[in-house]
Amino acid sequence: MVIFDVENPSEEELRAIDVHVLLPQQEPFVMIGTLVHFDETLTVTETEVQKSNIFVDDDCFSASGLMENIAQTCAARIGYVNKYILKKGIQLGFIGAVRNFEIIDLPHVGDVITTRVEVKEEVFGMTLAEASITCGDKVIVTSEIKIAVKEQEGA
């Protein structure tokens, strides 16, 4: 039973949520750690880069891992809305397009990255968002992403 204001959750309440309940992905393909902010347009996750991550190469989190981290931050947003606000199941999402994906630096094992996804537009099951990843105070990735959400069967 949810005992917090799902429309305006605190960071502490969000950190208590196991991200696995928000995502269609499961280990070893989970690329986000903790949901730390949710509102109508902005979703933020924090992730510690683990040596065991399948996208870590030479102690660095790869470009593929960073892109998947952004996509799963989008998925966590959709999963949160579905589970806590709309009271429905997890929906599958697909990357529809990526534009202006720029990597300034790769994070290393042990680094904590913060991923921000800001929704710019939602139309017909498509979400257009701007994303950035920071490590400490440094922006290390910027991108635009379009996510398509598959309608649930029988919906």
- Provide the pLDDT confidence category of residue 3 given band limits of 50, 70 and 90: confident
- Considering only CA atoms, which of 21, 33, 12, 151 is closest in space to residue 92? 151
pLDDT of residue 152: 60
Taking 70 as the threshold, does the pLDDT of residue 2 lie above it? no
**Rounded CA separation 125/14 (Å):** 25
Band (154; pLDDT cuts 50, 70, 90): very low
DSSP string, 70-138: HHHHHHHHHHHIIIIIS------EEEEEEEEEEES---BTT-EEEEEEEEEEEETTEEEEEEEEEETTE
pLDDT interval class at 67 (50, 70, 90): very high
Pairing of strands 93-103, 60-61: unpaired
Cis peptide before 107 (omega within 30 of 0): no
Give yes or no for residue 138 having a pLDDT over 80: yes
Q: What is the pLDDT of residues 80-100, one digit of tens each?
A: 999 999 999 888 889 999 999
Amino acid code (one letter) for 123: V
Confidence band of 155 (pLDDT split at 50, 70, 90):
very low
Rounded Cα distance between 74 and 127, Å, is: 9
